[in-house]
Amino acid sequence: MTEEERKALRSALRREKKQARSSLSPQERAEKSARAVERLARSEVFRGANTVMIYDHVGGELSLDSLLTHPAARGKRFCYPLCVSRSEMIAMVPGAWQPGAYGIREPVREKSLEIPPEEIDLVVCPGTAFDPACNRMGMGGGYYDRYLPRCLKARIVMLAFEVQKVDALPVDEWDRPVEQVFTEEAVYQKAAVQPMP
């Protein structure tokens, strides 16, 4: 496959999977989000984390809202990404919010606490698509792919809907796989899937 074909395939997959998650009704999205969040909240990676980087969902993305009020979240510090340039993001504990890039709500930098990436124990990534081997496709900006290598001790996971799954993602050398993908139906690990009740 040529580089041009690979790019075209990735773009097509991104569009297809964004449409797939957007085609879920608001009620379906809420129910499926809550089920995926419950799997994350019960997981070893979440229970063992003190500082957790999450995202504020936009559009058809899986919502993490129920995680913040889950009993397992008690005592944890949550931070959110803030894009500070066309290529760089940082993590902030929000003291206030404002509309940001791409229509995503983001912390107000002057009123929020910046968290060094090496203090983050767990990063929960958004994404448009994933495969059972835990390859992840983001929105195409590469923010997470550039940021994650700086999170020296963090475990890296993704939450997504089952409709975002593909058999195999065409990956580039800079794409960073995640350790686990949590959906409303299962927890995927790098080489195997573990269906859960």
Residue-wise pLDDT tens digits, 25-42: 999 999 999 999 999 999
Element (H, E) at 83: strand 77-83
Kindly report which listed range (13-17, 82-86, 91-95, 137-141) carries the lowest average pLDDT score: 137-141
Predicted pLDDT at 95: 97
Residue 133 has pLDDT above 90, yes or no: yes
HSE of 173, CA atoms in CB hemisphere, 13 A: 1
Q: Report, in angstroms and rounded to the nearest whole number, the Rg of the chain calculated over CA atoms.
A: 16
The predicted model gives 46-75 an average pLDDT of 95
Helix or strand run (H / E) with residue 41:
helix 26-42
Q: What is the pLDDT of residue 191?
A: 66
pLDDT at 194: 52
| 14: amino acid identity, one letter | R
Domains of the chain and any CATH numbers: 3-195 (3.40.50.10420)
CA distance 61 to 138: 11
| CB crowding 26-36: b at 16 or more within 10 Å, else e | eeebeebbbbb
- Residue 65 banded pLDDT, cuts 50, 70, 90: very high
Average the pLDDT over 80-104 and give the result.
89
**pLDDT score of 9:** 85
Angle at CA 78, nearest 5°, toward 174 and 97? 95
pLDDT over 70 percentage in the chain = 95
User: Residue 131 pLDDT more than 70?
Assistant: yes
Cα separation, 62 vs 64, in Å, equals: 7
Q: Are 158 and 178 in contact (CB under 8 A)?
A: yes
Q: How confident is the model at residue 140 (pLDDT cuts 50, 70, 90)?
A: confident
